[in-house]
Structure 1
Amino acid sequence: MSDRQNKFLDISTIGFTFIVGFISIKLYRKLLRKKAKDSFKNLIVEMAEDEYSCWDIVTKLLEKCKQHNALGFDCEWVTKGSKRQPVSLLQLSTLDGYCGLFRLCKMKCIPEALKALLEDENIFKLGVVPADDAKYLANDYGVCVKSTLDIRHFVELCGYIPSGLATLSDSLLGVTLDKDWRIRCSDWSAEYLTQRQVMYAATDAHVAIKIFDKLINKLYYTGGPLYWLRIYKFDGFVRDMCWKYTDVSYKAKTKTKNKELGTGTKLKDPNDKLVLKKKQCSTSIAKPLYHNCYLEAPDGELLCTLEDKKAMWYVLKELADVIKESPLTVRLRFEPSGRSVGDVGRYYQAVKENKCVVCGESNFYTRKNVVPKEYRKHFPELMKEHSSHDVLLLCLVCHQRSNMYDQAVRQRLSRMCDAPLTASDYTQYTEDADCKKIRSAARALLYQSQKHVLPEDRRRELEEKLLAHYPQHSHITKELLEEAVQISVLVENPEYEAHGSKVVEYFMQHEGLLKLEELWREHFLSCMRPRYLPQLWSIKHNEERMRVRLAEGRLSEEDMKLIGMRP
């Protein structure tokens, strides 16, 4: 056989092998898609409408999610007019196809078993925009859903274009979801749900965990083409990866195209998302909170550490002298009202690190008010002093997570203190309809151009309306129109009372403000589990500080009653 024939056979063999391989891959992918579709037909769906059935389903969910510590998570509700009603249905699904549907609209409150599951930070709740569902559950039922995880973070990490659940399901799993508006907008609080509603709800929750499973396997097993045949476990690598995005809202980038999803090329560097966020926000948080300069009493005793601007303010006002340049140390020329005593004093004397108190991030951070400003601003001056104890540093991710957890406490305080959060029908200011019409009429008359001259009848009507509102004027002038354009259309609502103000008033009359402070500090510790708190940071900090004042004779009985401190 000639060399030319051998060469032709080699090329033919390679071509045949390529074609067979290509066809095999196509057939295999088609088989996988068929298998995925079939798996959604075999879902086991159980519904809970009371506490007993709820406990039974939660027990099964906990048993079935042991290996992966993750659940598909979704919620449904009814919208009337343009106003969202309380969540009607909660869906949770395990990877093996067990789906629990909880009809919250038929329960007076969320049962303890379900509440414990939702608040278990060791079980990830997966979905697209799950943080919004968690916020609604907090607003409607006062449950603080922990460890929500938006699967779009992992979609992006794998190089795909993040999109809606239906698009991801079709592209990654080959499963087309039923997204007919008639079913999406159906009555989820009806006496009985239809079979189509049940399957829609169960599938939405299940598809989230199926997508997550595929993406994690792809990220976890990158060493060979058969990664999908292996089963991952939630070891340290996966858990750390998930924790990085837990309770962190996903913000989409500018759309690019992706071939693997059938829409273009992969993302260039999907791992740069958090870095990009940090760079965008770095200008406002680049400066350190703690400068660790020293302030001394006239006799040289250390009073506290403080920032450099405050230290130099004392010097410029000729109230102190610079004793040392590095670290900057200034000594007061007058006797301060109090000295550093006990652990409270030592807390203010201690050097503090500029890093996130939760995860230790030291490059990008922002201030976190453990006791939110909306409450502290209503405190008496006595309790506003030395409030820096409750200002801690958090990185951007931890700060976002902490703010989300705070919402559940606000809802709890709202119910406890009868202090509604701001709503459309309970606002500080309302619009005066008559003034709004006057302003609109003045604008129309003042800004009409030659091309858009008002009809004579319309112009006369608007002028009469203005003159009726301004009876002291006999005719329309430019000055009058300019005055009418600036008229205020907002009037203060006399029945409005700020949520923070009502909460503070309630605690002053009942449990004392120290209890309100401690409630927020305990919440921060339990939710965020900070590992790098400043030394001597304490839940009882203000109580200890007040006892020092009491011992020095600087605290009255009235003050003690106000803050809720016993002798």
Structure 2
Amino acid sequence: MQVSTRYSDLYAASAALAVGCTVSYIIYKLTKGRRNAADLFGYLNIKVVTTEESCDQVVQELRRRCQNHRALGFDCEWVTDNGQRQPVALVQLSSFDGYCGLFRLSHLKAMPTSLKDLLEDETIYKVGVAAADDGNYLNHDYSVVLKSTLDIRYLAELNGLEAGGLATLSSSLLNIVLDKSWRIRCSDWEADELSENQVQYAAMDAHVAIRIFAILLEQLDQKQKMSSWLFGTNGDSVWSHLDEYCLKYADVQYKMKHVKLKDGAKEKDGRTREPPSVPSKGYKLAMRAKPLYNNGYLEAPDGELLCRCDNKKALWFVYKELGDVVNEDPFTVRLRFEPAGRAVGDVGRYYQLEKENKCVVCGSTNSYIRKNVVPREYRKMFPEIMKEHASHDVVLLCAECHQLSNMRDHAMRARLADMCGAPLEKYQRGNNEFAGKKMKAVARALLYQSHKLPDARRKELEQVLLQHFPDQHEITEEFLGKVVQTKLALEDSEQESHGVKVVEYFFKNGGLLRLEELWREHFLNSMEPRHMPALWSVKHNQEKLLVKWNDGRVTQEHLKLIGVTRL
């Protein structure tokens, strides 16, 4: 009996050892060759931003580095306290070549204008996993309208891959293991100083996203062989046709696919499955179900109503000891100082009216999104005298009306492009600027990918370059290097952008007030809103400036700034 027991024990031990070796071998095979992200991405240049000055510098450098790729890796971090999400504490942005900006919003007094403009720049894609969801949080916490987000899981699906999270995609595409320990993910992102592990984790998430994005684009380009831009007919790289792959999925929330169940069937957690919601396409902006306008009162020292405003804005005067709360319902703050101006005429009465929390087009009250009637790409270049108290041009739309309005805005932009000689970048085919970009793409293909090109294709590309540069008699490595390094006009100066050219045109031809009026007229004509605020006027700014002129608060110098000589 004892012998039998010994053999039984020995057999059990051997079996356990065999199982253990098998599991170890499987783990070894699965992880063989995989490296930690920190080991592979030692070249990262990480900048932790806590001041507005450093923010402006980092944003400028990020813009410079993403000129060719027009994409940045993007992610956000925040703290959850007792189950409640706190405002976004950290925004991470990374360029393709490894320049990472970690913007500590929890340590900045306000959202810096340079960062806000970058996040709202629709010409630069912000790529990551669930980027549109993070955009909703930024909109809710800081009123940032994040534009051109792209969830890389869409591109993964187009390539026939299983669309897992960032760690899964990193493992399968980069052969890199990301540290997704809860101790880092759930750490204190509002701490006075971020730990080295936090800094590395935050930077890796953003940079890995842009690297995966690049790989998926290249795979998609080769798989679909659409015009074969790098190896095919015109020599352009996939980055030259970014919109053709990404525009369809820009600002669309990714929907996880579930196992199909019949309506009324039970999920694993016991809940009854409900029919899918419509529409399935998500929306990038924060669709507010709670009232946006709570219509607090702001009064002059003698009790005269100056305007209706958000309670937080009214409380600002209290915190600064510039006003006092005189009523809780309705919430009313009375100023301790005489304001620069009071409500005069229809212009003043407009700001005294109660603002309704509903879509101004269809009247929906379920959810709504802010719409800038005059797009920021133009308004951001207006002089301050025109940007003060600009709430007149911010209206509420439901998601469907907002999307439709944005689509119809393209026609207005195209009209302005023709009128002002300010072509939109995506429509610049055939001009010298586009030709220059094409030559740079051809040169890059020959310089860096020549060994992959068929002989016939390589000779074809060489002839393209020789025809464009008639003084060049042969293709040399030195010549290709010079073409690749050629600085194009649009890369040199922001002054060549569509928005800048339009603003300059109207400044010299009729004034910027006319540009405002055109956008307001376009909104009324294209959307036919049925619920616009009373006293909303196409000529609102002109009427407001006229009141200030009569009060002596606008000078001739102010008028020169907006391109007019008289009101």
Larger radius of gyration: 1
TM-score (ref. length: structure 1): 0.46
